[in-house]
Structure 1
Amino acid sequence: MKITQEDLLEIVEQASTIPERLGTEFLLNGMQNENIVNSRVEYWCQTVAHGNQAQFEKRLAWDGLNLGIIRQALGSVHLADRQNLPAWTKTLKAVLEAIASDPLDALEKSLAQAKYPLDSKEPLPFEELFLSFIEIARQKLTAQSGSTYFLLSAQSHATLERFLLQSLTSLCSQAMGENFLVFRIYEQSSLIRQIGQLGGCHSTEQYDKFIKQMLAGELLGFFQEYAVLARLVATVTDFWVNNLCEFLQRLDSDWSNIQATFQGNTELGQVVAIQLGLSDSHQNGRSVIKISFASGLKLIYKPKDLGLEEAYFQLVAWLNENGIPQHLKVLQLLNCSDYGWVEYVEHSPCPDEPAVARYYQRSGMLLCLLYSLSGTDFHRENIIACGEQPVPIDLEMLMSAVARQEESPYANTNASSLAFERLNYSVLNTLFLPSWELGRDGGAYDMSGLGGSGNQQTHFRKLVWRSINTDGMVLRHEDVKTTSCSNTVILNGVQVSPSDYVRELVEGFHQMYQFLMAHKETFLAANSPLVAFAHQRVRSIFRATQVYASLIKETLQPKLLRDGVERSIALDILSRSLLKYEKKPNSWQIIAAEQQALIHLDIPLFSFYPRSKDLNISADLSVTHYFIEPSYDLIMTRLRQLNETDLEQQIGFIRSSLYTNFASDFSRSLPLSEQPVLNLNTIAPAAEETLLQQAVDIAVELQKRAIRATDGSVTWMGMDYMPESGRLQQKPMGYDFYDGTSGVALFLSALAKVTRDEEFQDLALGTLQPIFNLLRNLNAARETPILEKIGVGGGKGFGSILYALVRSSQFLAKPTLLNDAQSIASLVTPALIASDHKFDIMSGSAGAILGLLTLHQATANLAVLEQAVNCGYHLLGHRTASDAGLRAWRTLNGKILTGFSHGATGIAYALLRLYEVTQNAKFLAAATEAIAYEQSVFSPIAQNYPDFRSEKPDFLVSWCHGAPGIGLARLGSLGILDTDRIRQEIEITLKTTQAFGMQEIDHLCCGNFGRIEMLLVGAQQLERSKLAEIARRQAAWAINRAANTGSFQIFPSLFKGTYNPGFFQGAAGIGYELLRLAYPEKLPSALLWQ
């Protein structure tokens, strides 16, 4: 069958992008299908501006467009020169004609197995349809590469062709799968179809028939329907040919230099193994390649200038020669200007434990070097553990520069901005240290160079074919787990945790830092070992690579592969992030370059030179003054400013980061049997003045560590708690009560109240300032996704901010703060409440109730009470029957839990508080039933309530989970619900809490002071002074230990020196509880949201 010019024209015109249509190569039609054009205008407006017409027209205007112009481009168009088609059409035509000439060749499977890169054990979806692409690509590569083709073995060529086949089937399988589904519907019986939907039918009768039909002439029609896909498969095929030709020619011309550089006089031999796709695709499909020669030599080919790598390893060689404590590995490389060859680094285990210790010492040294050279992106795929050597293998993000912030009225004027700036200039920005990202269902995973490992659940999902190439083949979404990576340290076949080598890591960092300080003048001199870095091209990442990868994946959906306009609009979502600015930002021109790369499935690549402030978008286009300062100047400044204070701060970041990697659940206190025996009778109760002085000392430490801005705002670096995973993330403080600035403000306000110290009052008001900035921004935007991300909870969310803000206003006698609280309450809309699926005190509607009731109590605002009632009804409507038939709520990971923070205790407590105000019996009934559920699972043996978060329930003794929090809630609502069973529970929980004694951790959530608060409330509610005395004795014990160790224990002793300013798991909460013990009648119980 002959493929005509008209056949190809139809595909070219339909596949054309919006920028192409607006150029000179296409003619716009005056007459268009108005329905199609209108739907595309609406789709585009929704994609980039959430349907905001004014924002959409602003986006068009920034490109010199308007609705009239773009409407003409959104319908059908004609190619101006209908004789000269794009180059990719030649490949498409050759493939389609080859299929037409021998359509059944691909079905001769025995012949195909020998001729093509097929694997019967790992079939690729619809692979038979793409064998002609392999044939044409092979012919082109053979013709264009000439004799260089034979530098590679036959097996190597088969590997290359297999890679191309995988690429093509991956691109086409979704669209082809839809066609096959329709085909099966017509061909199969309903029974067989049902079996097929389950992926259980292994017959190939219908599949073979479908393949035969497609090869017999329907493939042209398929590509005419999916014109964008036709363009992509032809383009990918051309890129494969062109890039391999380039690679082979370079290999041939460099053969003798490669041998001399890496192997001396030993002959290389033929390339016997090859691996493609070892990096992201850039600049027309180019990526890193690994090759193995017959001689055993393995090399990495990088299609880019290796000047930066060359400069780095020259520096490492200089450091080794000049006496750093442990030598770092220097890689051999051959830089050929536009590309180069690098020694391959094997992932290998450590021979013994001392080697592991040296590995982490070197890791600390490497971290210091990366920090000093402003390196970033050193995640787990860019580090290889080669015995006792940590080796960075992708250095393109050394010498990174800081982009100038666009026109924002709050840029660098508030404390939050300064805190993020501090983070960006710290060791954490290297991405070498452990750092958590949220996975699916709130789990967390670590992608860092030091801590990232395999088999971690991520937030990604992928499409996976099952029962491939059978009548029952089916496409499913499956969760993605991280694969094993070469950054892991192995000893005796077991992966080693960096948290076991904190001392070595810190020691290595300290040693390298001291070395750099000692040689500061050498590095700052005109002939500095760093001079070579000044002239190298450095990569700049405008957006996270994962954003681009996800967008490519999204735009390969079949519905976006029919017409180039649809895919162009989908890609233009990139412009959305810049539309927040009133005026066209300096970086606007980057958008078009991003889209141009993504059209061809490339990850956009931008660069700069360390002596310049300009960002290079392409060879002839740049964004001037994009960076605040040249990165080379930044490095010189950093080296010039190396000092002991910065060293201490960076080591603090290192320890904190490693702690977040180590700790997974902070409520897992030591079991009773493991607690040391403690005789409290030998300890005098803490006196009022002692308690107050300890609280003042905590506030003074907060003052020292505060990050202050010119607008008066104050914040800190803190630990963000992620409830679903039980993980902490080191970052600038947010705004929440649990671990944000509102919690710190509550403590400082209470301290100002009892001391009448204006300095603490001013610090408290400054700490609240970030919340006012947040409120100003939220009132301006009111975007639902942002509000939902903040949430409604009482620990983390709007409810939490409300509680802290109202109480702070009362402590400080600043009633104007209530106005801000009411503005925040207005954001808790019915829609936001309806979006809550967490329900609990910490992050859900139960916590919102407590915050709203606190505001209602202070203002008597009935609208606020109505919001609380809405939250109550939301909870009533989302109960689930437990195994005992009693209803409660599924919270963390969809489980019905006990306890205060995430369980039935906290939700029931909130409903009882709501019942107290409204007298709505429905709330009382729901709370009573939830309490009955907890009573039904109580363990008489453990004298405690099971924590169902893990498969094997534990019995914890903390505020968040277990007897203390449950008893505290029963005490706090005793005036509302007072029964014999409730009284019995209170006595049991008091006994269990006292028997537990003291443990290593002091903070409120999971530590000693949370249990102390339960005893204090028990003393108040039950009028038992003995309980208050015990609470003060326990506080005295913690104070004495803090005096001996240097601080209260916020984290395990292994991570001494790690600091967290937050309320529930940090210093502020301990400070507040000390004040509570000193002045129980003046200050309410914050753990009860009183």
Structure 2
Amino acid sequence: MEDNLINVLSINERCFLLKQSGKEKYDIKNLQAWKERKSVLKQDDLDYLIKYKYESLDNFGLGITPIENFPDKEVAIQYIKDQSWYIFFESILDSYNDSEEKLLEVDASYPFRYFLQYARLFLLDLNSELNICTKEFIINLLETLTQELIHLTSKTLVLDLHTFKKNEPLKGNDSSKRFIYYLKKRFNSKKDIIAFYTCYPELMRITVVRMRYFLDNTKQMLIRVTEDLPSIQNCFNIQSSELNSISESQGDSHSRGKTVSTLTFSDGKKIVYKPKINSENKLRDFFEFLNKELEADIYIVKKVTRNTYFYEEYIDNIEINNIEEVKKYYERYGKLIGIAFLFNVTDLHYENIIAHGEYPVIIDNETFFQQNIPIEFGNSATVDAKYKYLDSIMVTGLVPYLAMKDKSDSKDEGVNLSALNFKEQSVPFKILKIKNTFTDEMRFEYQTHIMDTAKNTPIMNNEKISFISYEKYIVTGMKSILMKAKDSKKKILAYINNNLQNLIVRNVIRPTQRYADMLEFSYHPNCFSNAIEREKVLHNMWAYPYKNKKVVHYEFSDLIDGDIPIFYNNISKTSLIASDGCLVEDFYQESALNRCLNKINDLCDEDISIQTVWLEIALNIYNPYKYINDLKNQNSNKYIYTGLELNGKIIQACQKIEKKIFKRAIFNKKTNTVNWIDIKLDQDWNVGILNNNMYDGLPGIFIFYVALKYITKNHKYDYVIECIKNSIYTIPSEDILSAFFGKGSLIYPLLVDYRLNNDINSLNVAVEIADMLIEKKPINNGELKNDWIHGHNSIIKVLLLLSEITEDEKYRKFSLEIFEKLSEEPYFNFRGFGHGIYSYVHLLSKFNRIDKANSLLHKIKESYFEEEPKNNSWCKGTVGELLATIELYDDNISNIDINKTIAYKNKDCLCHGNAGTLEGLIQLAKKDPETYQYKKNKLISYMLNDFEKNNTLKVAGSEYLESLGFFVGISGVGYELLRNLDSEIPNALLFEL
């Protein structure tokens, strides 16, 4: 049995002992079997891990040798018994006074009674010297230790319980009594406890390590409080000199078991003890500077500071008195968002902000002056755009955001961890939780988990007052800070340079939850049975794509002893500081100080406007057309261009549109790729990096540039076209049977490129994508949708085009197969083309089902819709109806009110604006040029005049953030204007060629 103790040895320890015994060669089969086991590590990750943690493959191979192959087990066991942690374990057991056994109530703490008695006597002896604790305080401390020991042991205890049951029936009248019986039998004596821990030797080691951390840190804290008591009493107006209770739930365990603790004195006053690197004095002075210069209204928390720790005022969630204070609260909250943006503050989630009356209070200042973590995402414009996105308010934690989406089944569900969240939330995945606690049916199951609310929401009359209805105050607060900062750049830059050099801050380089998850995985009984199994679990940390993976060594070292890894950074330097003080040199490319100084120096009206729009989107109050509705001079110039003058104006306008698009482009010269950050519409408006979708993604911008090159014959656009192609070819996209989303969204733009610029490569790629979709996507009736944008109608049309170009009938055959299975009922019950019945009418004509098309048109005219159409757009209204029916017979458009349909709109976009109307007029002018050529020129002239006066098209967005997308943004407007110059440019609303 004692031989099993050898399983506590780490890989490095096993290698050392085996080499000492003369064994130099490892078992190749054993190494191969290890490598073949499930792991997220790639071969490069494993090679790096072996080199930097174990020095060589030979060492690693020896280190994973099973204990049955150890030549000298006695030597290994003696080595273990000579370790300080094992000596401490024996001293705990040997010092136990079993005379207390009769007084003990057998409960869940019974297996740990030896540890708890040792800790109790230690604390009593310590307090006899310090005289700082009440009896209740010591009980609190022991309860804290008990909870940690139970947490460490719970999974192992469950397994051991059920293993024990198989060998010996449990006695007792109910499940709880049978569990007590198990505890008494399994942990009856010192010998029994040794036997248990020998079965799980890594559990023995980490239990002793955590016990030592607890005792050392508690002693250190109590000595510090005793020495600092006069300062504490004076600063926080505390009358008592005795500690009455402690709560250690405020934070994670870092740096050898250190944790934040709330201490309550006998007079009821509370303080918070934080054993952390202290930069608080510099930050307090900085906050006072910001309050004076920017009117930041930051609540200054009272503190007593020392070099490596500090105490601070306990901040509670106290009530607000009236609505005016609610408004002040949320305006101050907005100011915090501005401060966080300016000084690169992150991690201000719902647990790090407390609503303290009319003040939102940051209770953890350690994440000011943060960096973008150097992750190996690859080298592309899309990656560069991601880093630019990270340099915004969206990563502060203060604005609503969804976390943990990657863990949900849909990859879209998440939990809002922002400090504006005010309600309980269900985590979008099941969590392993204990069931039937402390019974003989105790087990772990994946269960739904509800996240509790915190203290981050203001309270009035005992009710939470959420930010909803107070959004404008948040926006006002943020804008006021940013505007004042723009006007006070010199003072801010001077203050930072003069006062904050070499400030030490914490860096959160990996989400804390990821560390916690990894710890939980490593607490599995298999890991506690054999230490190298626990190492194998933690080896998965090396799969994280840091550019500098040396940092993982320090993460591993903290996790192996049960700590959440913690790192720091001197903001004037590029190195990272590990919990043990070691440096990871050149972890960052530039210092956090320079990054912040550059941001402040570059701050301008455009930045403020963009961040304001992003905030409005995050708060769900964004009005995409507010800016254009506020514009003056709309349609004030009635001059109508014709002929060459009109053509020249169109060219000028499209070149201006191109400059706007180009200005916002993010190029990567090494990979010749490009991308943009833009406002996009999914279920709601959001800010994101463009992907492959025809509606408002990269393919739409591509098709605009293709048309612009065709019209101007200017090869300066070749590079942009090449970069967009490189991006759309390499961005991960779903294999969706769609012409609007996923890989299928590339087919039509590539066919247009082939049609206009004779690019045979574009045709080949379009064919390759279509072939892949046909091969991978079986036609399932239940998934088919009769809709142009969100359904399958558009891909049917695109495959028909491909069949005509390639003269390959398989595309027509496949499209017909889909078409035959479509329901005649539209997915959206509108009269339009983008959404509604008319894209189906269009397909009927393409398959020469003219009689059926006419029959359906008659049905629509007579009874399909209860009301007359009120919408005159392409997507949901009469412009779409016009485009679908005009190609059939002239009389089919007789029921459309043409004048209402072609009326000038207050929006310019293709989907529901003037550009869509322009396509209708282009088609009408073909039928009746005498009537509609003038009206077409009039519409274009009004659009161009407004554009010239306002320097913006009437699309979603703001002054500096016009939507770029094809159907709702400026690229689509530009394309349609170019189409008016040359009919060879295809009708993109109907996916014509």
TM range (shorter): 0.7 to 0.9
Task: Give distance in 1, aligned partners of 2:430 and 2:149.
Answer: 20
| Structure-2 residue corresponding to 1:519 | 488
1:314 equivalent in alignment to 2:272: no
**Partner AA of 1:971 in structure 2:** H
Task: Give distance in 2, aligned partners of 1:993 and 1:718.
Answer: 38
| Structure-2 residue corresponding to 1:544 | 511
How high is the TM-score relative to the length of structure 2?
Answer: 0.80
1:466 to 435, 441, 444: 435
2:774 to 844, 856, 869: 869
| Structure-1 residue corresponding to 2:389 | 423
Task: Give distance in 1, aligned partners of 2:802 and 2:823.
Answer: 16
Q: Is the CA contact (8 Å cut-off) linking 2:709 and 2:717 kept in structure 1?
A: yes
1:561 equivalent in alignment to 2:528: yes
Q: For 1:1015-1035, what per-residue CA distance to the aligned partner results, in whole angstroms no more than 9, with x for missing partners?
A: 423433565456694796166
How far did 1:305 drift? 2.5
| Structure-2 residue corresponding to 1:47 | 39
How far did 1:909 drift? 8.5
Instruction: Tell me the secondary structure at the aligned position of residue 428 of structure 1.
Output: helix
Give the direction of change, closer, same or farther, for the CA distance of 1:897–1:1013 in structure 2 (3 Å limit).
closer
| Structure-2 residue corresponding to 1:627 | 588
How far did 1:395 drift? 1.6
| Structure-2 residue corresponding to 1:590 | 551
| Structure-2 residue corresponding to 1:673 | none
How far did 1:147 drift? 3.8
Task: Give distance in 1, aligned partners of 2:978 and 2:859.
Answer: 27
Task: Give distance in 2, aligned partners of 1:664 and 1:16.
Answer: 59
Q: Is the CA contact (8 Å cut-off) linking 2:750 and 2:766 kept in structure 1?
A: yes
| Structure-2 residue corresponding to 1:485 | 454
Task: Give distance in 2, aligned partners of 1:870 and 1:739.
Answer: 27
Q: For 1:461-483, what per-residue CA distance to the aligned partner results, in whole angstroms no more than 9, with x for missing partners?
A: 32222222234434221233432
1:79-98, aligned counterparts within 5 Å? 79=76, 82=79, 84-90=81-87, 92-93=89-90
1:329 equivalent in alignment to 2:299: yes
| Structure-2 residue corresponding to 1:972 | 843
Give the direction of change, closer, same or farther, for the CA distance of 1:446–1:385 in structure 2 (3 Å limit).
farther
1:359 equivalent in alignment to 2:329: yes
Count of residue pairs the alignment pairs up? 918
How far did 1:225 drift? 2.5
Task: Tell me which moved more, 54-63 or 419-428.
Answer: 54-63
User: Which has the higher Rg, Structure 1 or Structure 2?
Assistant: 2
Q: Is the CA contact (8 Å cut-off) linking 1:434 and 1:658 kept in structure 2?
A: no
Q: For 1:169-207, what per-residue CA distance to the aligned partner results, in whole angstroms no more than 9, with x for missing partners?
A: 222222222233345567789xx9xxxxxxxx9743543
How far did 1:138 drift? 2.1
| Structure-2 residue corresponding to 1:675 | none
**Partner AA of 2:964 in structure 1:** P
Task: Give distance in 1, aligned partners of 2:276 and 2:585.
Answer: 24
| Structure-1 residue corresponding to 2:123 | 141
Q: Is the CA contact (8 Å cut-off) linking 1:376 and 1:431 kept in structure 2?
A: yes
Task: Give distance in 2, aligned partners of 1:257 and 1:82.
Answer: 47
| Structure-2 residue corresponding to 1:731 | 688
Instruction: Tell me the secondary structure at the aligned position of residue 129 of structure 1.
Output: helix
**Partner AA of 1:487 in structure 2:** N
Q: For 1:33-82, what per-residue CA distance to the aligned partner results, in whole angstroms no more than 9, with x for missing partners?
A: 959834653247x63644x4x76445534557443322211113654853
| Structure-2 residue corresponding to 1:651 | 609
| Structure-2 residue corresponding to 1:15 | 8
**Partner AA of 1:415 in structure 2:** A
How far did 1:818 drift? 4.1
Q: For 1:651-679, what per-residue CA distance to the aligned partner results, in whole angstroms no more than 9, with x for missing partners?
A: 3133224314427999xxxxxxxxxxxxx
| Structure-2 residue corresponding to 1:370 | 340
How far did 1:276 drift? 0.5
| Structure-2 residue corresponding to 1:676 | none
Task: Tell me which moved more, 372-381 or 733-742.
Answer: 733-742
How high is the TM-score relative to the length of structure 1?
Answer: 0.73
| Structure-2 residue corresponding to 1:702 | 661
Task: Give distance in 2, aligned partners of 1:29 and 1:977.
Answer: 86
1:133-212, aligned counterparts within 5 Å? 133-148=115-130, 151-184=132-165, 203-204=175-176, 206-212=178-184
Q: Is the CA contact (8 Å cut-off) linking 2:502 and 2:573 kept in structure 1?
A: no
Task: Give distance in 1, aligned partners of 2:430 and 2:701.
Answer: 38
How far did 1:608 drift? 2.3
1:396 equivalent in alignment to 2:366: yes
Task: Give distance in 1, aligned partners of 2:11 and 2:702.
Answer: 52
Task: Tell me which moved more, 589-598 or 217-226.
Answer: 217-226
| Structure-1 residue corresponding to 2:349 | 379
| Structure-1 residue corresponding to 2:928 | none
2:539 to 547, 572, 575: 572
1:743 equivalent in alignment to 2:688: no
| Structure-1 residue corresponding to 2:986 | 1083
Instruction: Tell me the secondary structure at the aligned position of residue 1020 of structure 1.
Output: coil
Task: Tell me which moved more, 746-755 or 23-32.
Answer: 23-32
Q: Is the CA contact (8 Å cut-off) linking 1:869 and 1:914 kept in structure 2?
A: no
| Structure-1 residue corresponding to 2:927 | none
| Structure-2 residue corresponding to 1:284 | 256
How far did 1:248 drift? 1.3
**Partner AA of 1:702 in structure 2:** I
Task: Give distance in 1, aligned partners of 2:814 and 2:572.
Answer: 69
| Structure-2 residue corresponding to 1:817 | 762
Q: Is the CA contact (8 Å cut-off) linking 1:502 and 1:655 kept in structure 2?
A: no
Give the direction of change, closer, same or farther, for the CA distance of 1:283–1:340 in structure 2 (3 Å limit).
same
**Partner AA of 1:67 in structure 2:** L
Task: Give distance in 2, aligned partners of 1:1071 and 1:994.
Answer: 34
Give the direction of change, closer, same or farther, for the CA distance of 1:696–1:269 in structure 2 (3 Å limit).
same
**Partner AA of 2:782 in structure 1:** A
Give the direction of change, closer, same or farther, for the CA distance of 1:565–1:521 in structure 2 (3 Å limit).
same
2:620 to 659, 662, 685: 662
How far did 1:641 drift? 3.3
1:424-439, aligned counterparts within 5 Å? 424-437=390-403, 438=405
Instruction: Tell me the secondary structure at the aligned position of residue 384 of structure 1.
Output: strand
| Structure-2 residue corresponding to 1:782 | none
How far did 1:600 drift? 1.2
1:771 to 728, 734, 753: 728
Task: Give distance in 1, aligned partners of 2:96 and 2:740.
Answer: 64
Task: Tell me which moved more, 912-921 or 546-555.
Answer: 912-921
1:1020 to 872, 875, 887: 887
Q: Is the CA contact (8 Å cut-off) linking 1:1012 and 1:1035 kept in structure 2?
A: no
Task: Give distance in 1, aligned partners of 2:526 and 2:985.
Answer: 64
**Partner AA of 1:610 in structure 2:** I
Task: Tell me which moved more, 987-996 or 473-482.
Answer: 987-996
Task: Give distance in 1, aligned partners of 2:356 and 2:242.
Answer: 26
Q: For 1:214-246, what per-residue CA distance to the aligned partner results, in whole angstroms no more than 9, with x for missing partners?
A: 224655444223222222223222222222222
Q: Is the CA contact (8 Å cut-off) linking 2:747 and 2:798 kept in structure 1?
A: no
Task: Give distance in 2, aligned partners of 1:927 and 1:241.
Answer: 73
How far did 1:590 drift? 1.6
Instruction: Tell me the secondary structure at the aligned position of residue 760 of structure 2.
Output: coil
Q: Which runs of 5+ in 1 are unaligned?
A: 1-5, 113-117, 119-125, 193-200, 580-584, 667-682, 776-786, 826-851, 854-863, 877-886, 890-895, 936-943, 947-954
Q: Is the CA contact (8 Å cut-off) linking 1:909 and 1:927 kept in structure 2?
A: no
**Partner AA of 1:734 in structure 2:** N
Q: For 1:779-799, what per-residue CA distance to the aligned partner results, in whole angstroms no more than 9, with x for missing partners?
A: xxxxxxxx6878786544333
| Structure-1 residue corresponding to 2:922 | none
Task: Give distance in 2, aligned partners of 1:658 and 1:290.
Answer: 37
Give the direction of change, closer, same or farther, for the CA distance of 1:703–1:71 in structure 2 (3 Å limit).
closer
How far did 1:288 drift? 0.9
How far did 1:289 drift? 0.9
Q: Is the CA contact (8 Å cut-off) linking 1:326 and 1:362 kept in structure 2?
A: yes
| Structure-1 residue corresponding to 2:597 | 636
Instruction: Tell me the secondary structure at the aligned position of residue 537 of structure 2.
Output: helix
Q: Which runs of 5+ in 2 are unaligned?
A: 625-637, 915-942
